Amino acid sequence: MRRSEVSEPIWIICILGHKLPSVFALGYDYAMRAIIFHHLRQAECALAVSVALRRPVSLLTAPGAAAYGGPGFYLAMVELARQRHPDAEVRAILDCGDDGAMAQMALHQGWRHLVLGGRGTVREKVRQIAVTYGADVLPRAPKALDPGADAMDITSQCRSFLDPH
């Protein structure tokens, strides 16, 4: 699907880091259309609905998830979900909490969209590193649908969230 085929202006970037216009021009939270995923099944549900509705989606890890799951674990989930839903347009975002070292490790492992809270000086240094990877560092996570860690089939929640009309 081309950007011109999207009925609403929604931020679209895949995990490989394709550059598109700034999300801030569209409205940070609205443009992200983020769904928090806690496990593979949730990521797959979000992408399946995204394809069915022909709408892009942002997959966002839970707050601070990089610290307890590790960047590689969540990246593998996103990549597997993308393999199973190759037509989905997805922007994957890893929440690194306040851990600048974790954010740097995530960049090295292939993440191109990170949330890094904490001190602005640390975030700015990580942002400078991220630029060399073609990556983004957000100061806060976008508002997102959080189905909860125990939910398995989140199809209806994702459908309502991505297609509110």
Domain boundaries, the chain: 3-162
* Of 84 and 5, more confident: 84
**What is the model's pLDDT at position 164?**
80
Residue 116, helix vs strand vs coil: coil
Q: Which CATH architecture has domain 3-162?
A: Alpha-Beta Barrel (3.20)
Residue type, 93: I
**What DSSP letter does each residue of 24-39 carry, written as one string?**
GGT-HHHHH-EEEESS
CA distance 2 to 47: 17
**What is the model's pLDDT at position 29?**
56
CA distance 151 to 110: 27
**What is the model's pLDDT at position 10?**
33
Instruction: Give CA separation, 48 vs 43, 112, 114, 162, in Å.
Output: 9, 22, 23, 12
pTM here is 0.82
